[in-house]
Chain A
Amino acid sequence: MARAKAKTRAKGAKGKKTAKAKTPKKGRAKAVKAKAGAGRAKTGSAKAKIGAEITAKGGIRMARADNSLSPHGGKLIERVVKSKDEAYKLIRGVKLDMPIKDQIAREIVSMAYGFFSPLEGFMGYKDVEGICNNMTLANGYVWSIPIIFDMTEDDVRKMGIKDGSSVLLRYQNQPFAILDVEEVYSFDKKKMAVSVYGTDEDKHPGVKRTYQYKDKFIGGKITLINPPKINPPFDKFWFPPEEMRARFQQNNWDKVVAHQTRNVPHTGHEWLMKGAWFTSSANAVLVSCVVGEKRKGDYIDEAIVLSHAALGDNGYFKQGTHMTSILLWDMRYAGPKEAIFHAIVRKNLGCTHHMFGRDHAGVGTYYSTYAAHEIFQKIPDVGIKSVLTLEWWYCPTCAEITYEGLCGHKPQKFSGTVLRGILMDGVKPTRLIMRPECFDVVMKSADKYGFGSPFVDDKYLADRNPLMTVPPMEV
Chain B
Amino acid sequence: MAERYPINIWINEERFAKLQAAGLSDMAKEAFAGLKVLSVMTTETQKDELIKRFPGSKCDTATTKTVELLPRVFKDKLFDLVIQHKSVEPDVVEKAMAIS
Contact = CB atoms under 8 A, between A and B. Distances in A.
Interface of A: 296-297, 358-359, 365, 369, 394, 396, 399, 412-415, 417-418, 420-422, 424-427, 429-430, 432-433
Contacts of B62: 358-359, 369, 415
A427 B12 contact: yes
Contact of B33 (A359, A365, A396, A413): A396
Contact of B64 (A358, A414, A429): A414
Contacts of A369: 62
Contacts of A394: 32
Contacts of B66: 418, 421
18 contacts: A297-B56, A358-B62, A413-B64, A414-B63, A415-B60, A415-B62, A417-B63, A417-B68, A418-B60, A420-B69, A421-B68, A421-B69, A425-B9, A426-B12, A427-B35, A430-B32, A430-B33, A432-B33
A378 to B, nearest CB: 22
Nearest to B79: A425
Nearest to A427: B10
A402 B54 CA distance: 33
Contact of B32 (A415, A425, A426, A433): A433
Contacts of A396: 32-33
Nearest to B33: A432
Contacts of A418: 8, 60, 63-64, 66, 68
Contacts of A421: 8, 10, 66, 68-69
A417 B69 contact: yes
Interface string B30-43: 01111100000000
Chain A binding surface SS class: loop
Contacts of B45: none
Interface string B1-33: 000000011111000000000000000000111
Contacts of A424: 69, 72
A368 to B, nearest CB: 10
Given A297-B56, A433-B32, A413 B63 contact: yes
B61 interface: yes
Nearest to B66: A418
Given A417-B69, A425-B72, A412 B56 contact: no
A145 B36 CA distance: 43
What 9 A-B pairs have minimum CB-CB distances, sorted nearest first? A425-B10, A430-B34, A415-B63, A297-B56, A427-B10, A421-B68, A432-B33, A417-B60, A417-B68
Contacts of A430: 32-35
A117 B62 CA distance: 34
B77 interface: no
Contacts of B8: 418, 421
A325 to B, nearest CB: 27
A359 B63 CA distance: 10
Interface residues of B, number: 22
Contacts, number: 67
Given A358-B62, A422-B10, A430-B34, A297 B72 contact: no
Given A415-B64, A426-B12, A427-B11, 19 more contacts: A369-B62, A412-B32, A414-B63, A415-B63, A417-B58, A417-B64, A418-B8, A421-B10, A421-B66, A421-B69, A424-B69, A425-B72, A425-B75, A426-B72, A427-B10, A430-B33, A432-B32, A432-B33, A433-B32
Interface string B44-64: 000000000000101011111
Contacts of B60: 415, 417-418
B32 A414 contact: yes
Contacts of A413: 63-64
Nearest to A434: B32
Contacts of B35: 422, 427, 429-430, 433
Nearest to A420: B69
Nearest to A296: B56
A83 B10 CA distance: 55
A393 to B, nearest CB: 8
Contacts of B9: 425
Contacts of B32: 394, 396, 412, 414, 429-430, 432-433
Contact of B12 (A358, A365, A399, A425): A425
A432 B33 CA distance: 7
B34, B35, B72 — which one has the most chain A CB atoms within 10 A of its CB?
B35
Contacts of B69: 297, 417, 420-421, 424
Residue from B31, B34, B58 with most neighbouring chain A CB atoms (10 Å): B31
Nearest to A422: B10
Given A297-B69, A418-B66, A422-B10, A399 B33 contact: yes
A422 B72 CA distance: 10
Contacts of B56: 296-297
